[in-house]
Amino acid sequence: MTAKFRFAPSPTGYLHVGNARLALINWLYAKKVGGEFVLRLDDTDEERSTEEYALGIQEDLDWLGLEWDDLKKQSDRSASYKAAFEKLKAAGRLYPCYESGEELEYKRKRQLSRKLPPVYDRSALKLTDEEKAAFEAEGRKPHWRFLLDQEVVSWEDDVRGNVEVDCASMSDPVLIRSDGRPLYHLPSVVDDIDFGISHVIRGEDHVSNTALHIQVFKALGSEIPAFAHLPLLMGPDGGPLSKREGSQSLRELRDAGYDPMSINSLLARLGTSDNVEARGHLSAVIDGFDISRFSRAAAKFDPAELKNLNARILHEMPWEQAKSKLDLDGTTEAFWLAIRGNIDVIGEARQWWQVVNGEINPIVEDQAFLDKAAELLPDGELDVESWKAWTTAVKETLGVKGKSLFMPLRQALTGQSHGPEMNNMLVLIGRDKALARLAGKFA
């Protein structure tokens, strides 16, 4: 039997790194065991779900390189949810409730005031047919609750180990709203059954939901998948990452010039004791993946760590991989190899492309020194040995050395006080531009 994993985002916003971590771990696990990865769009929230966000999720996963084997949308599956509803109702596991939101809130406050847990009292189970008919005559339409077995539900979690949840402390959950629309729990379980999902990996905020879902799986006569619950990823401020809280989205990182492999490399190791390693390809990340390495401790996402990792990936990136990422006409391998060690994100290559091929305003503090240095520039075509020969000649002729020698030349030739190795930059800039810039010209 093929192992199947799923990532099930709601298209109510763009993905952030916390979402991406769950998608990545599901994808890596699937690839590690030769299984399949399903993208399921939980788009039953008609008020907040949009096609823009649905397409955005697919674009983000594609950018990360996380190809899915199947795409499903909950909005296409109302008939399946209706059938499950009828099955549960016939089995006596769903019962109609007629309380309004205000009435339920009053009950909750009353229980709290008596220092009792705010658990639904199951009063709807005691309604007679006449009382139900009276509510219907008033125009009330029922919402439907799942009748929980008041037992301890346990499972062996791939991250948390043995987990036990006492369902006696839980309210019977509403599965169907009064307008007939299913809430999260029923579609999620029905989809996992129908799609043959064998492993459910999600955030630890779903632990209590899993106890409920296991009961629904059983009530529908289905096998129960394996579960793993990861600690939520914390942001720099110590709070959980959230679309609603405005956490940085993947598309913002993409627009800022981050390489997707920096994100994959970081998220694959956050929450483990393993060192984060810069990986240039997903195949290397798959090789090092092990779900048992994740701990129950919260992991923190640090943007500074991501930036450093991104820089390390770029510094080692070969030309064949980089050339498709550079949005510059006419770039060469020599240019990339010269500047890659001096950029943190790919977009910074444009600055050095301008230095090499465009016009800059040279920094000139001692024009007389630059004029004399220009006279000593080696004749003929410049190569990687020209810089050393030139600076040696300037040193011996003018008696300057160290920073007093190299800084004025760098500033005049590049308009910058730091940057790539000048033996490579001098070749890329070329003789004509070099002489013009040494003369203090905008060239």
Average pLDDT of the chain?
95
- DSSP structure class, residue 264: H
155 closest CA partner among 207, 192, 230: 207
- Whether the predicted pLDDT of 247 surpasses 70: no
CA distance linking residue 208 with residue 97, whole number of Å: 22
Q: How confident is the model at residue 246, as a pLDDT?
A: 44
Q: How confident is the model at residue 308, as a pLDDT?
A: 96
Please write the tens of the pLDDT for every residue from 95-135. 999 999 999 999 999 999 998 889 999 999 999 999 999 99
- Note the helical H segments in 166-259: 185-194, 207-219, 250-255
- Contact (Cβ atoms closer than 8 angstroms) between residue 307 and residue 272: no
- Whether the predicted pLDDT of 161 surpasses 50: yes
For 275-296, give the DSSP string. PP---SSHHHHHHT--GGGB-S
Q: How confident is the model at residue 243, as a pLDDT?
A: 52
For 15-24, 83-92, 231-240, which range has the lowest pLDDT when averaged over its residues? 231-240
174 SS3 class: strand
The domains found in the chain, sorted by start residue, are 1-91+180-316 (3.40.50.620), 92-176 (3.90.800.10), 367-438 (1.10.10.350)
To the nearest 10°, report the CA torsion of 237, 240, 241, 247: -40
- Section 394-399 average pLDDT: 96
Q: How confident is the model at residue 242, as a pLDDT?
A: 63
Please write the tens of the pLDDT for every residue from 11-58. 999 999 999 999 999 999 999 999 999 999 999 888 889 999 999 999
Please write the tens of the pLDDT for every residue from 276-316. 999 999 999 999 999 999 999 988 999 999 999 999 999 99
Q: How confident is the model at residue 240, as a pLDDT?
A: 73
CA distance linking residue 39 with residue 10, whole number of Å: 11
Q: How confident is the model at residue 375, as a pLDDT?
A: 97
pLDDT band at 237 (very low <50, low <70, confident <90, very high): confident
| Segment holding 202, helix H or strand E | strand 199-203
- Section 324-347 average pLDDT: 94
Q: pTM higher than 0.85, yes or no? A: yes
413 closest CA partner among 359, 333, 372: 359
Please write the tens of the pLDDT for every residue from 196-230. 999 999 999 999 999 999 999 999 999 999 999 99
CA distance linking residue 83 with residue 402, whole number of Å: 81
